[in-house]
């Protein structure tokens, strides 16, 4: 066992767990992770809740009560999620931790409904250390501004491209400025921007493999092989460079003087999907002050067991990172198309996960109504 998780915290990286269940809460496991693994945050999504509901009897009592009350399916889904998230918020509050809860992914392309859902969830959970997850779609950007203006702490999710990340930071700053114009305080209002990592390598590696297979030019084949596994970390490092630039501008300094908190970059999708790669790479290669890394439990365990930090690895190598993206473009990998595909797939996957969660809750309610 290494001290890598403790070292991460000391290096300015907030360690978050990408999982939550009522059993984890009841057993005291989440508190144990706070005490022994430096965990100060939790992210949730519909897949996580669906898996928790289908495993064991931890939710039976609440589901039975909801069935007896005859609540709607939508209300049942929200009340079940809110119960766990509120509990997790209370567990993490003494450590200054945060818990994220997602708006309905089915409204990711509808600004007004996204804002309304964010307000409803903020009220329902009613904890100051809550984050409401809002997708970084084009329609989500004004929702980020509106929610921030309302005093809702936002976890902006599904960020893949550097251009969209710039727009996300601008949306947050605009929300802070509008809140100040309304005469309201900025104290206690926070935000994170979830920049997805491993999915970038998965998509680009697939395209590189096709180039290597179909190209007859030896130099292109060699370049495709050399660039495998380099895109995601390069993309994230350039995102951190953008963060450093935006949060050192005069615009930001004016907000900071009024009590504003920087919107931290959050490295999401940090579980390694290719067994050829080291299982801690999306953690140890992205260490940077003022960031968050949210890990599935296997990644958390791997970092604790054999993670080896190498300084501020995420806050350096910007020229090399830019060269990686340039080299990818040079052999025909279309960055704009990659991030477009990833965003569309991300929204579709979240929608499908939400549908599965709703179906799981319906089955549980029907079983209790018997």
Instruction: Tell me the H-state helices in the chain.
Output: 4-10, 22-26, 29-36, 46-53, 60-69, 73-92, 111-125, 140-149, 162-181, 198-214, 218-227, 231-246, 250-256, 281-284, 297-306, 318-330, 335-369
Residue numbers annotated as active site? 133
Q: Which of 223, 199, 201 is nearest to 211 (CA)?
A: 223
Distance CA 177, CA 258 (A): 10
Q: Write the CB contacts of 188 (distance below 8 Å, at least 6 apart in sequence).
A: 128
Chain centroid, CA 56 distance in Å: 27
Q: Which of 78, 64, 171, 168 is nearest to 117 (CA)?
A: 78
Q: Are 304 and 4 in contact (CB under 8 A)?
A: yes
Distance CA 308, CA 316 (A): 17
**DSSP-based three-state secondary structure for 355:** helix
Lookup: tokens for 289: 């002050």
Q: What sign does the dihedral 186-116-166-47 (CA atoms) show?
A: positive
For 61, list phi and psi in degrees, rounded to 5. -65, -45
Q: Which of 121, 108, 66 is nearest to 362 (CA)?
A: 66
Burial class (CB in 10 A: 0-12, 13-18, 19+), 183: exposed
**HSE toward the beta carbon, residue 302, CA cutoff 13 A:** 16
Q: Which residues pair with 134 in a beta bridge?
A: 156
Q: Are 89 and 125 in contact (CB under 8 A)?
A: yes
């Amino acid at each position: 066992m290494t001290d890598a998780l403790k070292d991460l915290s000391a290096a300015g990286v907030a360690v978050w767990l990408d999982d939550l269940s009522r059993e984890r809460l009841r057993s005291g496991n989440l508190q144990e992770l706070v005490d022994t693994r430096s965990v100060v945050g939790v992210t949730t999504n519909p897949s996580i809740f669906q898996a928790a509901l289908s495993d064991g009897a931890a939710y039976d009592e609440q589901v039975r009560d909801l069935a007896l009350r005859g609540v709607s399916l939508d209300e049942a889904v929200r009340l079940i999620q809110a119960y766990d998230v509120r509990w997790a918020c209370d567990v993490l509050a003494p450590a200054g931790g945060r818990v994220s809860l997602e708006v309905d992914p089915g409204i990711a392309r509808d600004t007004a409904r996204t804002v309304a859902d964010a307000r409803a969830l903020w009220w329902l959970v009613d904890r100051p250390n809550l984050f409401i997850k809002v997708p970084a779609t084009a329609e989500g950007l004004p929702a980020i501004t509106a929610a921030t203006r309302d005093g809702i702490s936002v976890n902006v999710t599904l960020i893949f491209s550097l251009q969209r990340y710039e727009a996300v930071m601008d949306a947050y700053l605009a929300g802070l400025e509008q809140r100040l114009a309304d005469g309201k305080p900025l104290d206690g209002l926070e935000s994170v921007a979830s920049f997805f990592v491993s999915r970038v390598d998965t998509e680009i590696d697939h395209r590189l493999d096709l180039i290597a297979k179909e190209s007859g030019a030896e130099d292109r084949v060699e370049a495709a092989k050399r660039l495998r596994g380099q895109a995601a970390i390069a993309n994230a490092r350039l995102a951190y460079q953008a963060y450093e630039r935006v949060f050192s501008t005069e615009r930001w300094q004016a907000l900071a003087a009024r009590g504003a908190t920087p919107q931290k970059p959050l490295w999401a999708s940090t579980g390694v999907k290719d067994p050829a790669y080291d299982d801690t790479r999306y953690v140890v290669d992205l260490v940077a002050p003022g960031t968050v890394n949210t890990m599935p439990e296997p990644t958390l365990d791997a970092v604790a067991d054999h993670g080896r930090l190498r300084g501020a690895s995420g806050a350096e190598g910007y020229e090399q990172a830019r060269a990686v993206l340039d080299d990818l473009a040079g052999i025909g990998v279309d960055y704009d198309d990659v991030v477009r595909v990833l965003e569309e797939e991300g929204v579709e996957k979240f929608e499908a996960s939400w549908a599965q969660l709703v179906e799981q809750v319906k089955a549980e309610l029907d079983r209790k109504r018997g």
